[in-house]
Structure 1
Amino acid sequence: MANLKTDILVIGAGSGGLSVAAGAVQMGADVIMLEGHRMGGDCLNYGCVPSKALIASGKAAHAQANAGRFGVASVVPEVDYAAAKDHVAEVIAQIAPVDSQERFESLGVRVIREYGEFISETEMRAGADVITARRIVIATGSSPLVPPIPGLETVPYETNETLFELREKPGHLLIVGGGPIGMEMAQAHRRLGCDVTVIEGETALGRDDPETAAIVLDALREEGVEIAEGAMAKKVRGQAGAVEIEVEDGRVFRGTHLLMAVGRKANVERLNLAAAGIETTRAGIKVDAGLRTTNRRVYAIGDVAGGLQFTHVASYHAGLVIRSALFGLPVKQRTAHLPWATYTQPELAQVGQTEAQARAAHGDRLEVVRFEYAHNDRAIAERKTTGLIKVMVVKGRPVGASIAGCQAGELINLWALVLANGLKMTQVANMVAPYPTIGEINKRAAGAYFSPRLFESRMVKRIVGLVQRWLP
């Protein structure tokens, strides 16, 4: 048994933990990182990277089947599902060296491939080692939540941790859960030739603005995805190749494969948090605004901290913790400027308040400006005119933006910048966007805010009239 000492101990080599370790060691701290499973965590191995790779395969198939409107013959795509999964594996392999043990050791991080458990407020046991650390960062992420639905224990099912290893194309994929993971995988599999049914106990894409979410759901239904909302799973029965899901209102859905995509749970079971005096909530580890746990020497970041569960949020948390743990600076996490996106086609993106949230918070002071993709020339040229942007504005300052449409995940970046820095619509309107781009949609949304003030104002017209009379 070795007794080790370090400045920063990072538990978990997902996106958040890797960011802390890389930043801290390059700024001169001594860093040890524990990882008992795969380097890169969920994002690289089971989440963001493989899902977007499979979505890309689905897009390629869909483009072949719908090329006729561009003057190119449409063809029925020949989908090799196993080869699509090879593409997924190749994408993971190409990115993996960036997150590898070798790279981080080359930076100066000591990487120990073991799970860790607390044995005191400042010590952890990892395999044969006991590590004492001045500061500890828990970045253990989350895992698929599988609810205790009767019968599920005897029926084979997939989660995002197993789906990308599946080589046999599902004949009819049943997906329990209508959130981002469920809807992305529904469309990808439908485009790859599977029948797909999504079974959602409440409302599909229910965290997003209902109007923009409806645009996405309508598009998926048009492609042939069956979406059953208000369908709470009651029983599961069957066997491999023949699965049935009975919902509370008596409906029964039948398919060949089952994907459980109902949510995530924080990975805390192995940590023995009680030994360190660290409290938890139903969502994860309890943290304050500075991401400190109830043990002041220990931080929790990313999914395990119980907030928004996105890779970019974990990276944001990592930056805050580096400032606090290395420099002793006060930090306070904010959430109002944190965007998210669902990578269906059309995409769906959100930052800040939805329209409903903004109305509840600001009442009559709220203005909602809208611009439809159908009026964007680049969208018309590429036949991607289904879409809408909504910007929620209070006294000239945006408080939220909702976008459904082509490149929504890219367009939302501007509004995340605006909210993060407290910018006004005037500053967006002053931007010059190249023509013709999808990005002009953001500029036109700002124009939609100012147009009534300029073109419908009697005062403006009087001033223009006076100036024209006096100009030589």
Structure 2
Amino acid sequence: MNRPQRVVDEYDLVVIGAGAAGLGAARAGVGMGARTLLVSDGQPGGDCTFTGCVPSRTLVEAARAGVPYAVAAQRVRDVIAAIAATEDADVLRAEGIDVILERARFRSRDRIDVGGRTITARRVVIATGSSPAVPRIPGLRETGFLTNETIFDLPELPRALAIVGGGAIGCELAQAFSRLCSQVTLIERADRLLPDQDPLASAIIAEVLTREGVDVRVSAGLKTVLPGPHLELDDGTTVTATHILVAIGRRPPAADLAVGAAGVETDPRGYVRTDKHLATTARGIYAAGDVTGRTQLTHAAYQMGRIAVGNALGRWPATYREDVIPQVVFTDPEVAQVGILATEAPAGARIAELPMIGLDRALTARATDGFVKLVAGRRRLLGNLGGGRILGATIVAERAGELIHEPTLAMATGMFTGRLAATSHAYPTWSMAVQLAAAQFFMTIDGRTTRTVSAGVRPPRPGR
């Protein structure tokens, strides 16, 4: 039953957008005692709930379980409905948040038009997210294509699916649809899949996908699309498919908020400019989530939303730290990363690597594709005492998305690297991989102390 909407035109906080960033911001505002209005031109939950993380992970898990496509598609719908029910407008109103499901448009810095009303706001958080980027390829729009906003609505399994973009979304859905028995071709313009990840991680995922039957094409950009559809690539090859999925990244939202009227500047790409406190160029207006062009991840957006509101309403500004936001590619094995890559390690940094073949838990699961790689650097004044500090971690493993949080905690708290090695871990578990990798910074092999152990050195196991 809908609760009556309060007729109040003046708010302490107005949040525009109801995805992860908007929900985080609105809930933080109410928690700080602010009269809060959440405005959205779509249902609360945004991309993550309806077209992003939730349906994608559900489909990945269903494909891994080996169920038919019809069952997988129903699971996607069921999970979306279950999660959406926990964050719909009535739930938010019950939490003390006013909700208007209309489009917003700035009239000035502190006045916003919403559904025929003019709202006055002391503070504003812009959290309007992003939308799928679509390349200007001849014939693509005429032929038709799918994005993450439409792929999960397909009534039947694509017989032959061409995926343009070998990033996280492309790799996840390539593996999922291949396991659901689609014929999948994965096309990436760069010279490797997951081009923003560790090169070894890219190689492992490419090998796994190829082994499972995905036709992986790298160093191949989409040149044109002909009826069929037939995709002509710039390497001279052709791909024939029944469906095309475009997964090349994100772009700023298309909705026009008239941010210029509020004095909010955008960068050349169209993202809202923010400083380290997530403040925009207009006094009292902050931005959070994808619309900032920063880390485009659900958990990052939620954290940004809370930080933005804390800074807007509080006295002591907090800084958004992108370096301690973990990211996970939900392939099998998963790829997780936080901080810098080993390829970005500064002079004097040390790198330890443990291949999954050296972890007993991976052997028991017969899941030895992958590795743990830790980058450690010197601490100010203390140098490498206690192993220094963690600067970054990359993990490729069956449970990499769970394992990455231990190095993330070490980075966020400035923990000595040695504490990861010294903390007892249950045997045999996946998390022991982090402990064993960290221990390499302190190991003695053949009578000498080694700071960085090569992948060929097998660390000692605990006694059974």
Q: In the aligned structure 2, how far is the partner of 1:118 from the partner of 1:25? A: 23
CA change 1:438–1:401 in 2 (3 A) is: same
Partner residue of 2:459? none
Q: In the aligned structure 2, how far is the partner of 1:60 from the partner of 1:317? A: 34
Q: CA deviation at 1:340?
A: 0.3
Counting helix residues as a fraction of each chain, which structure ranks higher? 1
**1:200 pairs with 2:188:** yes
Partner residue of 1:217? 206
SS of residue matched to 1:133 = strand
Partner residue of 2:17? 12
Partner residue of 1:355? 342
4+ long deviations beyond 6 Å = none
CA change 1:187–1:230 in 2 (3 A) is: same
Q: CA deviation at 1:83?
A: 2.5
Of 407, 410, 413, the match for 2:405? 413
Q: CA deviation at 1:269?
A: 3.3
Within a 5 Å distance, the mapping from 1:323-342 to structure 2 comes to 323-342=310-329
Of 412, 426, 430, the match for 2:418? 426
Mapped contact 2:43–2:88 kept (Cα < 8 A): no
Partner residue of 2:297? 310
**1:188 pairs with 2:176:** yes
SS of residue matched to 2:374 = strand
Q: In the aligned structure 1, how far is the partner of 2:90 from the partner of 2:200? A: 47
Structure exhibiting the larger radius of gyration computed from Cα positions? 1
Q: CA deviation at 1:330?
A: 1.6
Partner residue of 1:391? 374
Mapped contact 1:384–1:406 kept (Cα < 8 A): yes
**1:243 pairs with 2:248:** no
CA change 1:222–1:3 in 2 (3 A) is: same
Of residues 340-349 and 280-289 in structure 1, the stretch that sits farther from structure 2 once superposed is 280-289
SS of residue matched to 1:215 = helix
Of 240, 245, 261, the match for 1:254? 240
Partner residue of 1:403? 395
CA offsets 1:373-424 (integer angstroms, 9 cap, x no match): 1121121111111110110112321111111111111110111111111112
Q: CA deviation at 1:82?
A: 2.5
Of residues 249-258 and 175-184 in structure 1, the stretch that sits farther from structure 2 once superposed is 249-258
Partner residue of 2:218? 229
Within a 5 Å distance, the mapping from 1:12-91 to structure 2 comes to 12-61=17-66, 80-91=68-79
Runs of 5+ in structure 2 lacking a partner? 1-6, 378-383, 451-464
Task: Give 2:420's aligned amino acid.
Answer: V
Kindly report the root-mean-square deviation, in angstroms, between the aligned alpha carbons of the 2 structures: 1.5
Partner residue of 1:452? 444
Task: Give 2:238's aligned amino acid.
Answer: V
Q: CA deviation at 1:346?
A: 0.5
Within a 5 Å distance, the mapping from 1:97-176 to structure 2 comes to 97-176=85-164
CA offsets 1:89-135 (integer angstroms, 9 cap, x no match): 00111111221111110011110000101011111111111111000
SS of residue matched to 2:29 = helix
Partner residue of 1:69? none
TM-score normalised by structure 1 residue count: 0.89
Partner residue of 2:354? 371
Mapped contact 1:115–1:270 kept (Cα < 8 A): no
Q: CA deviation at 1:268?
A: 5.3
Task: Give 2:375's aligned amino acid.
Answer: M
**1:440 pairs with 2:423:** no
Task: Give 1:292's aligned amino acid.
Answer: A
Mapped contact 2:443–2:449 kept (Cα < 8 A): no
Mapped contact 2:338–2:393 kept (Cα < 8 A): yes
**1:286 pairs with 2:273:** yes
Count residues in correspondence: 433
SS of residue matched to 2:444 = helix
CA offsets 1:257-310 (integer angstroms, 9 cap, x no match): 100101101115321111111111115111111111111211110100011100
Runs of 5+ in structure 1 lacking a partner? 62-78, 459-472
TM-score normalised by structure 2 residue count: 0.91
Mapped contact 2:131–2:254 kept (Cα < 8 A): no
Q: CA deviation at 1:452?
A: 3.3
Q: In the aligned structure 1, how far is the partner of 2:421 from the partner of 2:8? A: 59
Partner residue of 1:274? 260
Task: Give 2:213's aligned amino acid.
Answer: G
Q: CA deviation at 1:58?
A: 0.8
Task: Give 1:227's aligned amino acid.
Answer: V
